[in-house]
Amino acid sequence: MIAEEEMKGGDGFRTTGKKISVALLALVLMTLLLWDWETNPFVYTHVSTQYQSNTPPALAVSTITQAFMDITYEVCIHYDPNNSTESMEPAEMKTDGNKYQSLEKEEGKKPMQNGDDFEAEIIDGSFVNGTASADTKVCNYAKGRWVADSRPPLYAAKCKYMERKWACRLSNRTDFSYEGYRWQSVDCQKPEFEASHFLERMKDQIVAFVGDSLSREQFESMMCMLTGGQESSDIEDVQFLYTGEIHHPGWGYRFRSTNTTILYSKSTRLCDLEPINATDPNTLNAMHLDRQPAFIRENIDHLNVLVMNTDQHWRKTLVSWDNEVMYVNGAPVQDRNLKNISNAMIFKVNNIVKWLDSKLASNPNLQVFFRTKSPTHFFKGDWDTGGRCDNTIPMTRGSEVVEDESSDKVVAAAVKGTRVKLLDITALSDLRDEAHNSYYGKKSPDCLHWCLPGVPDTWNELLNAQL
């Protein structure tokens, strides 16, 4: 065995010697040609006619030199792979691999053995809050600060695709300082949002927002950001192609120029709803914790980007008001722990993440984001006990998020180790208690929803950055 390996090594040495000899011969010939040109440049005027009229003599010599270089390359580089131990990877792959290993050496990490391992780490690292695993580092856009920004909003308050109740400039509010801030990530530079760029990237794709009224706000914010708030003949209403008034009400628009579709489907708790007695108009509805919303089930194979959320409607009183009864395995919930509404929400969040993760294995073109909860700012009471949000002074609660981990522990834990990505907006939004609709133009204060233009625009900027 040893002798056989030595023989192979000897063959490799002889082959290498031949390569060196040919390379030296080519180098000598090129040197002679260059010397000959310096002594008698007109000898080469017979070179191909395309150089006689258009190419300077020096370029003609360069062409001849390049020809010899090509010969050298053919002989010395295109060798017999059977007699070589050098990798046959494309040059780009080898360069990237060297770059990654160099970075790892600088950071004191053990170099990885192959590119596949590195790619897997990138994927794994993006699962939790955009924060990488121990072996890699990717952008955590949720860590950063709010900074003053004198630029005008991306759209006007009279945006066609926005409900008037979100437009604080159209209310009796007189202070609009909440518009003068933008989010600056500390780990990496967040790209500027450009509508044309986003639509081109999402060409022939479907982007869907599924969730409660805050998901609808994010959808309306996205539509306004993409249109500048203006109506356009390029936009087609496709609501009833994907949504319906009974099972999953929503809205949908298609940009004809890029065939990009933006959708919203209402599903406050991300559960499948089914009437318990279909013949009774006053029947209760089964809220199946272990089934996914009809819109997602029916369209999952057609979507390219799915952004979902749930949180605020997980209250016992709201479930009762909606005439819903929690079901699991096709029957009313009997488990005492699961009857606790907070535990039921955790069960639902984990259930839908696990289901979507299984679907992503067969849908490589689909990206799923779970947006973390949007914070409320009711002070001196809750939404139903006289709570208010009267502050209009920005940053009274601070301007910076320094934590690496998401403050929405439920969603962060659910997506960890899956292909579902975290769109973490909780902590950065929590600093903006002055940016709610509040009591302007209303009988009771709204400390849950946001003024538009406003904070939900930042959610979409972070979504754009993570796509």
Q: Which distant-in-sequence residues (6+ apart) come within 8 Å of 181 by Cβ? A: 146, 147, 148, 149, 394, 395, 432
Q: Is there a single domain that holds both residue 27 and residue 97?
A: no
Using the 3D structure, point to which of 62, 83, 104 is the last residue of a domain.
83
Give the best-scoring range by mean pLDDT among 101-110, 240-249, 350-359.
350-359
Would you say residue 307 has pLDDT above 60? yes
The tally of domains found in the chain comes to 3
**C-alpha radius of gyration, the chain, whole number:** 31
Full-model pTM: 0.71
Same domain, 339 and 442: yes
pLDDT-based confidence at residue 24 (cuts at 50, 70, 90):
low
Of the chain, the percentage scoring pLDDT greater than 70 comes to: 69
47 close to 63: Cβ distance less than 8 angstroms: yes
Asked whether the predicted pLDDT for residue 290 surpasses 80, the reply is yes
Per-residue pLDDT at 467 exceeds 50:
yes
In this prediction, residue 25 has a pLDDT band, given cuts at 50, 70 and 90, of low
Other CB atoms within 10 Å distance of the CB of residue 51: 18
Range name among 377-391, 418-432, 453-467 with the lowest pLDDT average: 377-391
Residue 258, Cβ density class (10 Å: 0-12 exposed, 13-18 middle, ≥19 buried):
middle
Instruction: Tell whether 255 and 163 lie within a shared domain.
Output: yes
Confidence band (pLDDT; 50, 70, 90) for 68?
very low
| 63 and 172 fall within a common domain | no
Does 231 lie in the same domain as 372?
yes
Q: How many CA atoms are closer than 13 Å to the CA of 26, on its beta-carbon side?
A: 19
Within this chain, do residues 450 and 381 fall inside the same structural domain, yes or no?
yes
Domain shared by 101 and 203, yes or no? no
Kindly report, residue by residue over 292-302, the tens digit of the pLDDT: 999 999 999 99
* In a shared domain, residues 230 and 274: yes
Please give the share of the chain, as a percent, with pLDDT higher than 90: 62
Question: What is the edge-to-edge ordering of all strands in the sheet holding 235-237?
Answer: 235-237, 250-255, 260-266, 206-211, 305-308, 367-371, 421-423
User: Are residues 274 and 358 part of one domain?
Assistant: yes
pLDDT at 207 over 60: yes
Q: Tell which of 23, 58, 83 closes a domain.
A: 83
Which of these three, 83, 110, 135, is where a domain ends?
83
Q: Domain range for residue 61?
A: 2-83
- The predicted structure's pLDDT at residue 383: 67
Mean pLDDT of the chain: 78
Q: Which tens digit of pLDDT belongs to each residue from 323-377? A: 999 999 999 999 999 999 999 999 999 999 999 999 999 999 999 999 999 999 9
CA dist., res. 248 & res. 210, Å (int): 10
Query: Does 202 share its domain with 114?
Result: no
Average pLDDT on 127-142 reads 58
Average pLDDT over residues 186-213: 96
Q: Using one digit for the tens of pLDDT, what is the confidence trace for 69-98? A: 444 444 333 434 344 333 333 333 333 333
pLDDT confidence of residue 109: 38
The pLDDT score that the predictor gives to residue 28 is: 54
Which whole number is the average pLDDT over 287-291?
Answer: 98
Q: Residues 15, 72: one domain?
A: yes
- What's the token pair of residue 320? 């009762």
Nearest to 210 by CA among 287, 303, 307, 305: 307
Question: What pLDDT score was predicted for residue 244?
Answer: 57
Quote the CA–CA distance of 261 and 199 in Å, as a whole number. 9
Kindly report the CATH number assigned to the domain that includes residue 195: 3.40.50.1110
Mark whether 111 and 166 lie in a shared domain: no
pLDDT value of position 385: 74
